Amino acid sequence: MQGLRWQVIFPFLFSWLCHSVSGQIHYSINEELRKGSIVGDLAKDLELNVKDLSRRKLRIVSDVSEKYFSINQDNGNLYIADRIDRETLCEAAADCVLTFDAVVENPLNVFSVKIDIQDINDNPPTFILHTIRIEMSESRSPGRRFLLQNAEDLDVGINSLISYRLSANQYFALGEKVSTDGSVFPEFILEKPLDRETQNKHELILTASDGGNPVQTGTALINVIINDINDNPPVFTQDVYKVSIRENIPLNSTILQVSASDEDEGVNAKITYSIRTTANNILQNFNINPESGEIKTKGQLDYEVSRFYELSVQAEDGGSLATKAKVIIEILDINDNAPKISITSSSDIIPEDSAPGTVVALIQVHDPDSGENGEVQCRIKSDLPFELISSTGNFYKIVTKNSLDREKASSYNITIQATDKGFPELTTEKVLRMHISDVNDNAPVFEKLLYTTFITENNSPGASIFSI
């Protein structure tokens, strides 16, 4: 009777192991929502019964997204758990997406949840320099143009589109210059002749406005000093420089040298180079020699953090005339990350009468490298009665391959090995211990089929006559 009881109970206990269903849910939210804001009714969208959420252990599986979202087990709603700043997560990328897998058990299901983070206009345009100094000769002819620094806006889309205006005055107007890559820079235009003896200094306000609603603005003060002639700005040999480097390049390595020339003489032809940006990820990783124009690595690069950088490099002569060029640095991946194995769900004990194909665990394998460096092959080491079956995405199911017999082996150490295709290849191993529970599958057996013995007469009642 005891054996029958195990046979009835265990199919119910382990029926959840045999199911793995995938689906995808898509939400779209604005950045900077308050903590506790509702993203959506996840349970309803996944067609789950709210009363079963705790029992089925609905949870988020993600190395990143579980910091920003939480699931209420009482009502099934998905909530904001932490501040979401789109510019921190995705910088200037056109699309910003957070994803995670929602896992439930009994039966086991894995759902893919994708959340688009929409930009709001939470960053005003910013000038690197709050005060712009321009020196020009009184002999400058009307129509002369001076390139000004552009403002930067960390938002994206229409919220980052910048227009410029200049405070009212009688000598200067504002124009725009579009570089070969589409970047727009404000230009300072001389409208009428200057007279240093009448006025040797002009102070103007340059205002940058973005395209958001409401509009945000940033300003810079322009100081115009009237003096003698420096009538040629520096000219770069290229408008755009490009270079590709590996992510493991040593610190202080020269990756590129920019060069500009100036037709003026003396101090007006002396060129100083600088990187013009407020982005910390650029300033922390690169610097430029102000005299030679050599760009060197300053920080440790990581392909998994950023795959390319765009630097705005300025060449300024001794008379404060400047021009800019763009430097595009592509980071090449190396195989510097071993695969990661995560046990998403597993059962510590399985009955010995489990049928072949019974799911006993769900694992996730991930390698943050790119290309073949991030392609992973997964297997179970040693000849065991278990095998790996690929599930959705980078998930694998561990299932029974053959019949189990507790009398032969009461437990197994399942070693999962994940190896990427990089060179040299990197390997990770993880051990999962499984215990086999007994079922009443063995009847008693006598040592002999026939026993023979002799007894004497007149034995006392209760006397032993034979042992079997």
| Strands across the sheet containing 376-380 | 349-351, 427-437, 411-420, 376-380
- Over residues 168-220, the pLDDT tens digits come to 999 999 999 888 877 889 999 999 998 877 888 999 999 999 888 889 899 99
Q: Which DSSP symbol is given to 248?
A: T
Same domain? For 468 and 363 the reply is yes
Evaluate whether residue 2 is within a structural domain. Answer: no
3-state secondary structure 100-167: EEEEECCCCEEEEEEEEEECCCCCCCECCCCEEEEEEECCCCCCCEEECCCCECCCCHHHHCEEEEEC
According to the model, what pLDDT value does residue 345 have?
A: 84
**Of the listed ranges 8-12, 159-163, 308-312, 365-369, the one predicted with least confidence:** 8-12
CATH, residue 237:
2.60.40.60
- Over residues 60-119, the pLDDT tens digits come to 988 778 889 999 999 999 999 999 988 888 887 888 999 999 999 888 889 999 999 988
Among 280, 308, 332, residue at a domain's last position: 332
Rounded average pLDDT over 241-251:
95
Question: Which H or E run includes 36?
Answer: none
Evaluate whether residue 6 is within a structural domain. Answer: no
CB burial of residue 328 (10 Å; 0-12, 13-18, 19+): middle
- Over residues 277-302, the pLDDT tens digits come to 888 999 999 999 999 999 999 999 99
According to the model, what pLDDT value does residue 12 have?
A: 32
Same domain? For 202 and 237 the reply is no
Q: What is the rounded distance in angstroms from the CA atom of residue 256 to the CA atom of residue 228?
A: 35
Residue 20 has pLDDT above 70, yes or no: no
Evaluate whether residue 180 is within a structural domain. Answer: yes
Same domain? For 263 and 185 the reply is no
Evaluate whether residue 7 is within a structural domain. Answer: no
Under DSSP, is residue 445 helix (H, G, I), strand (E, B) or coil? coil
CB-side neighbour CA atoms (13 Å) of 258: 36
Q: What is the rounded distance in angstroms from the CA atom of residue 314 to the CA atom of residue 234?
A: 9
Beta-strand relationship, 240-246 and 322-332: parallel
Q: What is the rounded distance in angstroms from the CA atom of residue 426 to the CA atom of residue 91?
A: 31
According to the model, what pLDDT value does residue 292 have?
A: 97
Better-predicted residue by pLDDT, 325 or 354: 325
**Segments forming the whole domain that contains residue 244:** 232-332
According to the model, what pLDDT value does residue 238 have?
A: 96
Same domain? For 344 and 468 the reply is yes
Evaluate whether residue 3 is within a structural domain. Answer: no
Q: Which residues of 408-431 are buried (b: 16+ CB within 10 A; e: fewer)?
A: eeeebebebbbbbbbeeebebebe
CA 281, 283, 287, 288 torsion-angle sign = positive
**Average confidence score pLDDT of the chain:** 86
How many domains, in total, are found in the chain? Answer: 4
